[in-house]
Amino acid sequence: MAKKVDGYIKLQIPAGQANPSPPVGPALGQAGLNIMEFCKAFNAHTQNMEQGVPIPVQITVYGDKTFSFISKSPPASYFIKRAARLDKGSETPGQEPVGTVTMNQLREIAEKKKEDLNANDVDAACRILAGTARSMGITVEGQ
């Protein structure tokens, strides 16, 4: 028999750096989960990834206070900022460009994120990523 699902918790945690401090501790504590058990499992799962990369994770909370989690690929904005060599996007997107990325860079990002994007092919994924880049105030070259 399947376990009863009590709810879901969505967090974004740096790879290999989950600890009981906020935001992890309070979110899991409210659900009654064992915080240290999650931190150990998450850190073990992400130990082969680049440390500090933000990893979106969806935690499924079951009725008997157990959990399972699914980690996704890092956000598109993280990859775009890294490709443009920026710390953050523009404060006024559309008016003040802060950097540039090429379509080849977007194609590489699309290959990394293809299972998490809602696109049928790489070209559609590139168009999604180009829109994300423009909304961050980053110019897309070769479009």
How many alpha carbons fall within 13 Å on the CB side of residue 77?
A: 12
Phi-psi category of 141—alpha, beta or left, where left has phi over 0 and alpha has psi -120 to 50?
A: beta
Contact (Cβ atoms closer than 8 angstroms) between residue 86 and residue 139: no
Confidence grade of residue 33 (pLDDT, cut at 50, 70, 90): confident
- Is the model's pLDDT at 37 over the cut of 60? yes
Domains and CATH numbers, the chain: 5-71 (3.30.1550.10), 76-141 (1.10.10.250)
pLDDT of residue 92: 80
Confidence grade of residue 4 (pLDDT, cut at 50, 70, 90): confident
Give the separation between CA 54 and CA 122, rounded to whole angstroms.
23
- Is the model's pLDDT at 143 over the cut of 70? no
